[in-house]
Amino acid sequence: MVGRSLVAPPWALVMQSDQPCVLAAVLRGDAWVRHGDVPPVHLSEASVIVGCGHVPLVIGDHPATVPHVLITDRDTCSDPITGESVADRNRSGTRTWGDPDAPTAVVLGAYRTGGELYAQLARDLPDLVVVGPDPAVRPVLDALAAETTADRPGQQVVVDRLMELLLFAAIRTWLASPAARVPAWSSALADPIIGPALRALHAEPERRWTVAGLAGVVATSRTAFAVRFRELVGEPPFAHLTRWRMALAADALRADPARDLTTVARSVGYADAFSFSTAFRRVRGVSPSGYRRSAWATGSRR
């Protein structure tokens, strides 16, 4: 769900999403954002925020402005007080509302994913990631703005992909900023010894890795590698490998209800479904089959 709003003071919008995260960006002008217990944040033009879902996100011309539009996951816009639909009020396109001459343009969207890999990333992020104007983010933001301006075939697919690019471009930019509380795994990826080993492990989860084999990738001793890995990543190499494999497996189970367990097992480094199921239950607390049934029953697949 992505929408572009063209607004003039006083204005405020509130987004209520059950998705894992929400994004907001200022295409022109400026705005203030309120999200949970985080103090109000001022956004200049070309700024982007990534907020945890399940918590209302309010964006407006001033922190004290009362929201006049409620946006939800059902692609609906309504009056927060009366509940009356305002979806067709001032609509100028499939995804655009407001006056084209308004001084401020913002885009809001909910990132629809239940993926385990994203969940691992999100657990190390603050409730609100704020990214100011940045040359690495601006091209994606411009492309998203252009795509929400015109109604063209295949727009939903293009917008979905641009939302993914904007999300990760913003997070990567935030991780490189001096003010970021950089997660351990981010520092480890930049390390000249652990970084290459982590990338190799992530790229080939199906490989029969050993600590000695990982140490060999970076030409260091097994003991020195294991100690450094734990210091930087926060867990032993094989604990991290197992967690990574189970996240990949969970996403595979979620994506395809017909994929047999043996195929999933082999894709993440297990010889058979039995050994994979044992490891999955130990890490996730539920069998692979039970996890898949639950994911599809709740409609949380992507």
Give the pLDDT of residue 293: 84
Q: Please report, for the domain that includes residue 137, its CATH number.
A: 2.60.120
Give the pLDDT of residue 31: 96
Residues 28 and 64 grouped into a single domain: yes
Residues 41 and 156 grouped into a single domain: yes
Per-residue pLDDT of the chain (302 residues; tens, 9 = 90+): 678 889 999 999 998 887 777 889 999 999 999 998 889 999 999 999 988 767 889 999 999 999 988 888 666 778 888 888 887 777 766 778 888 889 999 998 887 655 665 666 666 677 888 999 999 899 998 888 888 777 777 777 888 788 888 888 888 888 777 666 666 666 788 789 999 999 899 899 999 999 999 999 899 999 999 999 999 988 999 999 999 999 899 988 888 878 899 999 999 999 999 999 999 999 999 999 998 888 766 554 43
Residue 253 falls inside a structural domain: yes
Residues 169 and 198 grouped into a single domain: no
Residues 142 and 255 grouped into a single domain: no
Structural contact between residues 2 and 109, judged by C-beta atoms closer than 8 angstroms:
yes
Residues 40 and 165 grouped into a single domain: yes
Cis peptide before 103 (omega within 30 of 0): no
Residue 54 falls inside a structural domain: yes
Residue after which a domain boundary falls, among 154, 175, 196: 175
DSSP codes joined into one string, 167-195:
HHHHHHHHHTSTTS---HHHHHHHSTTHH
Structural domains of the chain, count: 3
Residues 149 and 132 grouped into a single domain: yes
Choose among 283, 214, 206: nearest CA to 243.
283
Structural contact between residues 61 and 98, judged by C-beta atoms closer than 8 angstroms:
no
Residue 302 falls inside a structural domain: no
Give the pLDDT of residue 19: 75
Which stretches of 19-111 are assigned E, i.e. beta strand? Answer: 21-28, 31-35, 38-43, 48-52, 57-60, 69-72, 77-78, 91-93, 96-98, 104-111
Residue 56 falls inside a structural domain: yes
Residues 12 and 133 grouped into a single domain: yes
Residue at 177: amino acid letter: S
Residue 163 falls inside a structural domain: yes
Give the pLDDT of residue 52: 74
DSSP codes joined into one string, 163-174:
HHHHHHHHHHHH
DSSP H or E stretch at residue 4: strand 2-7
Residues 290 and 215 grouped into a single domain: no
Residues 92 and 19 grouped into a single domain: yes
Residue 67 falls inside a structural domain: yes
Residues 225 and 253 grouped into a single domain: no
Residues 138 and 164 grouped into a single domain: yes
Residue 279 falls inside a structural domain: yes
Burial class (CB in 10 A: 0-12, 13-18, 19+), 299: exposed
Domain that includes residue 189, residue range: 184-234
Residue after which a domain boundary falls, among 199, 216, 234: 234
Q: Please report, for the domain that includes residue 267, its CATH number.
A: 1.10.10.60
Residue 64 falls inside a structural domain: yes
Give the pLDDT of residue 120: 62
Residues 114 and 203 grouped into a single domain: no
Residue after which a domain boundary falls, among 214, 234, 254: 234
Helix then strand then coil, % of the chain, to nearest 5: 40, 20, 40
